[in-house]
Amino acid sequence: MSDTRERRGPSTLAVHGGEPAVRSDRSLTTPVVHATAYPFEDTRELVDYMEGSRERPAEYGRYGNPTVERAEAKLAALEGGEAAVLMASGMAAITTTLLAMLRQGQHVVLTRDAYRKTRVFARSVLERYGVGVDIVEPSAQAVIDAMRDETRIVLTEAPTNPYLRVLDLAAVVKAASARRVKTIIDATFATPINMQPLAHGVDLVIHSATKYLGGHNDLLAGVVVGRAPLVAAIREFLGMTGAVLDPHNAYLLLRGLKTLALRVRHQNATARRLADVLAEDPAVARVWYPLRPDHPDHENATRYLSGGGGVVSFELHGGLAAGTRLVDALRIPKLAPSLGGVESLVEQPALMSFFELSPDQRAAIGIGEGLVRLSVGVEDPEDLEADLRHALAALREG
Ligand SMILES: *Cc1c(COP(=O)(O)O)cnc(C)c1O
C-alpha cells in the first residue's frame, strides 16, 4: 500500500492508512461486514482460489474478515510493518504468537516487570509443554545473559508494567539476531506514536489494542505486527486456535485509531505534568515516569521514546493504607484495571493484579505495598492536576 512507502505522519496514517482512498461502495468509512462465509461465484473460482491463482476474500470468517483486514492494514501502516494480524484480546495475541513460534525443548526469555498474565502463561502453560522459561530483570544485560542455545524468543515490554522500564533495544536486538533468536516487544504502553520498535530491528510488535489503540475503554483486541511471512505463520495458527477479532470490535478499533496521535500526545503531556506534581509531594517516596531524569532507564527512554506515555507509577511513604486513601480521594480517575483509554483510571497493583499474594511475595517480585498506578485519560490536565493535589492534601490530613 502506498501509504507505507511514502512515510506519512502518524495522524495521517491513523486516519487514512490501510483504507482505500475511494471505496467501491463510495462510503467514507469502512463498513462492518457481519458474515461467516464468503461464497464463490462457481467451482472454477473455488479451484482457482485454492490453487492460489485468484485473489479474493478468505472463504470463512475464522480465516479473515474485510473489516478486520482494514484495521490490520491501518495498524501495519502505523507501525511501519509489512503485515498485522488482529485477535480477540492482547492475551490472545501473546499466547497465540508464543504457541505458534515455540516447540518442546526450546527456551524463551521474559522480563520480570511485565504484564502478569504473560508471565503466568509462560510458567503455567509453556513449561507444561516442555518449553524452558527464564524470567529476568528488565535490563538488556540480564536478557542477553539468559539466552542459551535453545533460546528461540526474547519477549519484553516497552515500557514495562508497572515500573515503565525501557531496555536498550539495540543491544537486545544485536545479541538476539547474532543467535537467531526472535525479539518480540509488547509495546502496549508505548503505542506506535511514542515508539517504533520495528525500526530498531525488533521482529514482532504486540499490542493489547484494548488500551491506547482502541482508546475508549469499550473493546478488547490484540495485534501482532511484523514481517509478512512471520505474521502469516501466526495467522495460520490463529485459524486453528480461533481467537479472532469480531468485526464490530474491528470497526470500533478503526474508529478509535483515527484519534490515536491526538489522544496519546495529550496523555503524554498530562502524565508528565502529574508525574512532576507527584515528585514534589512529601507523601510520595518515588515516581516512575520514563522521561523524567530520575527514572532508572531515563537514557534508554530518551533514546527510544518520543513521549513518555499516559501511565505514571508512584510509591507512597504510607504504604497500602495511604494508597487506598489517595485512590478513594481521587474524584476523576476511576478505580479500575486497564489503561490508555479516554477515562483516567487508577489502581493499587497490590490490591488488583497481585491481590492473592502476601506482602512478602509481592515484595519478592518487586510490587511495593504503597505502589499506585495512574493511567491518564484525555480529561483537562488542569482538572486532573487539581484533583490529584486535593487527594494528596487529603492524605496529609488523613
Ligand atoms: C492489558 C495488557 C495485556 C493484555 O491485553 P488484553 O487485551 O487485556 O488481553 C498485555 N500486555 C500489556 C502490557 C497490557 O497492558
Q: Name 373's bridge partners.
A: 313, 347
**Residue nearest atom 6 of ligand 1, based on CA coordinates:** 90
Domain annotation covers residue 2: no
- Listed residues 202, 230, 257: the one ending a domain: 257
Give the total number of structural domains in the chain: 2
- Catalytic site residue from 38, 48, 54, 62: 62
Residue bearing cell 512515510: 7
44 Cα to the center of ligand 1, angstroms: 44
* Ligand 1 in reach of 161 Cβ (< 6 A): yes
CATH of the domain at 269: 3.90.1150.10
Residue bearing cell 509481592: 362
Q: Per-residue pLDDT averaged across 329-341, rounded?
A: 96
* CA 94 to ligand 1: nearest atom: 10
* Ligand 1 in reach of 119 Cβ (< 6 A): no
Q: Which residues contact 55 (CB under 8 A, 6 or more apart)?
A: none
Question: pLDDT at position 3, please?
Answer: 46
**Residue nearest atom 8 of ligand 1, based on CA coordinates:** 90
* Ligand 1 in reach of 211 Cβ (< 6 A): yes
Note if 211 is an active site residue: yes
Average pLDDT, the chain: 95
Residues of the chain with pLDDT > 90, as a percent, come to 90
Q: In this predicted model, what pLDDT tens digit does every residue of 179-190 receive, in sequence order?
A: 999 999 999 999
Q: In this predicted model, what pLDDT tens digit does every residue of 263-317 receive, in sequence order?
A: 999 999 999 999 999 999 999 999 999 999 999 999 999 999 999 999 999 999 9
Question: pLDDT at position 208, please?
Answer: 98
* CA 339 to ligand 1: nearest atom: 15
CATH of the domain at 136: 3.40.640.10
Q: In this predicted model, what pLDDT tens digit does every residue of 58-101 receive, in sequence order?
A: 999 999 999 999 999 999 999 999 999 999 999 999 999 999 99
* Ligand 1 in reach of 222 Cβ (< 6 A): yes
Indicate if the pLDDT at residue 363 is higher than 90.
no
Question: pLDDT at position 354, please?
Answer: 87
Q: In this predicted model, what pLDDT tens digit does every residue of 190-239 receive, in sequence order?
A: 999 999 999 999 999 999 999 999 999 999 999 999 999 999 999 999 99
Question: pLDDT at position 85, please?
Answer: 98
- Catalytic site residue from 70, 165, 182, 211: 211
* Ligand 1 in reach of 369 Cβ (< 6 A): no
Question: pLDDT at position 92, please?
Answer: 98
Note if 186 is an active site residue: yes
Question: pLDDT at position 1, please?
Answer: 45
Question: pLDDT at position 366, please?
Answer: 84
* CA 157 to ligand 1: nearest atom: 13
- Catalytic site residue from 186, 203, 246, 297: 186
The C-alpha cell that represents 343 in the structure block:
477515562
Residue 358 or residue 131, greater confidence: 131
Q: Per-residue pLDDT averaged across 14-40, rounded?
A: 92
* CA 161 to ligand 1: nearest atom: 13
Helices (H), the chain: 2-5, 10-16, 43-51, 66-79, 90-101, 116-121, 140-146, 169-178, 191-194, 228-241, 247-257, 260-280, 298-304, 319-329, 359-364, 381-397
CA angle 352, 110, 375 (to 5 degrees): 35
- Listed residues 257, 284, 301: the one ending a domain: 257
Residues 71 and 217 in one domain: yes
Residues 329 and 213 in one domain: no
- pLDDT band of residue 5 (cuts 50, 70, 90) is low
Q: Per-residue pLDDT averaged across 3-12, rounded?
A: 75
- Listed residues 257, 292, 307: the one ending a domain: 257
Residues 222 and 275 in one domain: no
CA distances from 343 to 82, 184, 259, 364, 386 (A): 32, 29, 15, 32, 16
Picking from 245, 213, 221, 236, the residue whose alpha carbon sits closest to that of residue 97 is 236
Indicate if the pLDDT at residue 262 is higher than 70.
yes
Indicate if the pLDDT at residue 6 is higher than 80.
no
Indicate if the pLDDT at residue 2 is higher than 50.
no
**Residue nearest atom 2 of ligand 1, based on CA coordinates:** 208
Q: Which domain holds residue 324?
A: 260-397
